[in-house]
Structure 1
Amino acid sequence: MKKLLFIIIILIAGNAFAQDKYFYVSLDISKPLDNTNWINSTTARGGKAGVRFFINPKISAGLDLGWSTYDEYKPTKTIYTNNSAVTSDYFNYIYNYSAAISAQYNFKVGDGEVLFPYAGLGLGANTNEYVLYYNIYQDSERSWGFLARPEAGILVKFSHRRSIGAMAAIHYDYSTNKSENYNYDRFSALGFQIGLVFITL
């Protein structure tokens, strides 16, 4: 695994000043798939940004950064802490941040200058802060984990002569984040991205 990440970093660095690349920024709508008793709600309070360098017309690699905030309201219950008990309604939150090195295979459609469908895989790190807000109090725990993110999507240039376009993608995030306090032995989510892309080919 370390050798694969090292090779990808070298390839990205070697192509850092190449002309063929694209940048993107997107809204990320996602839903957690694990421990849905704690949070089960879909969120649109997330985003992703990244860059890809074309190693050749079919293979590209780069870096992705992502963030999401999940929250869910819970009705009144008694919450026990080490030395006391509080009866209140409450909110569960997850603040999620990720960074991944990603590689993708680009499929040629038509003349290969406007439509760019792709499938890829990102590997990196993910951190979650699990927070319970109740009354005037809060409890929290932060954990880190390894992230794997398979993804499929499409880039569409608005015209042959313009570098700006749109993107849409679906992804599955799996990470090894653990939280004993909030009953997570892993964290996973399904997400949909839509955003803008700037392609220089």
Structure 2
Amino acid sequence: MKHILLSAFILLCGVTLYSQSSFILSYPMGLPLGDLHDYSSKTSFRGISMEFLGHAKPGVAVGLETGWNVFYEKKNKEPYKQGTTTITGTQYRYTNAVPILVESKWYPTEEKKKANPYVGLGVGTLFASRSTDFGLYRITNEAWQFCVRPEVGVLFSIEPGLKAMLGAKYYGAFNTDDLDGQSFLSINVGFVFSSL
């Protein structure tokens, strides 16, 4: 897993060297939905998101996104079911979600305004690792899931080459044989660093 993330990061950095480009670094707050919410209902305040974009034409950018969200919840004496087995006890539930997406963003207004809205769409994969700890024992399920990620947001100009951003992303992951879709909504705040 570490090798995949490192390779994706190096590839994303390479995009910025050969085009007018942007690097977005943001802090995501994740709200679990669907099966992920059933497993761990608490909001995630652990994570990071990175995006590398090349500007294809005025108002349109394409690139890659990766990141990491950690969902965690402690459950006291809750039953845990897997197949035909049920275990009851204090559980520490963790879900690590790592998206790797190809994306496009559309900026409908002029760059010179102080606040510029945008919309985006990403398609790719979401690596989900779910771990349940019972004392000395750990039950782990991992899956690569197909993921579609629409988003909306606003960019705020600070100075040439630097903007603040506020956005919302929905990571819609699809079921696999190993794990149901681990979908979540992410509220992101961060900075956009652009080449001039």
Instruction: Pick the TM interval, shorter chain.
Output: 0.7 to 0.9
Task: Output the amino acid matched with 1:133.
Answer: D
Residue 154 in 1 paired to residue 154 in 2?
yes
Moved more, 34-43 or 119-128: 34-43
Aligned 8 A contact 2:15 2:53 in 1: no
**Aligned to 1:178, what secondary structure does the other structure show?**
coil
- Distance in 2 between the 1:81 and 1:98 partners? 25
Write out per-residue CA displacement over residues 78-137 of structure 1, whole angstroms, 9 at most, x where no aligned residue. 66889x98653111111111110101111214x636433210100011110111101111
Q: Equivalent pairs: percent with the same residue?
A: 23
Write 1 or 2 for the structure with the bigger share of helix. Answer: 2
SS in 2 for 1:95: strand
TM norm structure 1: 0.80
Give the number of equivalent residue pairs. 181
Aligned to 2:180: 185
Q: 1:134 to 1:153 in 2, by over 3 A?
A: same
Question: Paired residue for 2:6?
Answer: none
Q: 2:18 corresponds to which residue?
A: 17
Alignment of 1:102-141 (within 5 A): 102-109=103-110, 112=112, 114-141=114-141
Q: TM-score w.r.t. structure 2 length?
A: 0.82
Q: Which residue of 1 aligns with 2:4?
A: none
Gap runs ≥5 in structure 2: 1-13
Asked which structure has the greater CA Rg, the reply is: 1
- 1:1-201 counterparts in 2 under 5 A? 17-18=18-19, 20-35=20-35, 36-77=37-78, 88-109=89-110, 112=112, 114-159=114-159, 162-178=160-176, 184-201=179-196
Cα 1:168–1:77 change in 2 (3 A) is: closer
Q: In the alignment, is the contact (CA less than 8 A) between 1:178 and 1:187 conserved in 2?
A: no
Report the aligned-residue RMSD: 2.6
Runs of 4+ with deviation above 4 angstroms: 13-16, 77-82, 84-87
What is the aligned partner in structure 1 of residue 3 from structure 2? none
Q: Please name the residue that 1:8 is paired with.
A: none
Extract unaligned runs of 5+ from structure 1: 1-12
